[in-house]
Amino acid sequence: MNGPDSWGQVNLLERLKPRLLIFDEFHSALRGRRQDVKAIFSFLRRIARVHDISPVLVGEIAIYDAVHDTDEMGSRFDTLPIPRWAYDEEFATLLDSLEASLPLAEASEGLIPVGGRIVSQGPDAPYFPSI
């Protein structure tokens, strides 16, 4: 027997009964063959219908285009754009709490603020480290 059922995922979903599954970097799944992408969307429909699980797809705008390519999938998802982080006090507080939770032998000496500025600028921003 081939397919997801043979791997035990269905039994796991039935045991855990999650209400939500988050798929981060989902746009990467859309780079496959068309039949593979169709199978992925079929899986998403199935977990929603059979297991009452809400899938959350996180990633680039290509996800929106793929989901809204058909009325069937487009009607199943609510679209919520999430703005990029701004390098502000809230973001700095998040970075401070992350740094405090890391088992660092020594303080980062400003690495976190520099990294925070880079992250807040997004993946397409040029990076010129100051040495």
Cα separation, 116 vs 86, whole angstroms: 9
The Cα-based distances of 2 to 6, 7, 9, 39, 71 in angstroms read 6, 8, 12, 14, 30
Provide the residue-wise pLDDT of the chain in tens; the chain has 131 residues: 455 554 566 678 888 889 999 999 999 999 989 999 999 999 999 999 989 999 999 888 899 889 888 777 888 888 887 777 777 888 778 877 877 787 777 766 655 566 666 666 666 655 544 44
What is the pLDDT at residue 1?
42
The C-alpha R_g of the chain, in whole angstroms, comes to 20
The model carries a pTM of: 0.61
- Tell me if 23 sits within 8 A of 58, measured CB to CB: yes
Cα separation, 115 vs 85, whole angstroms: 13
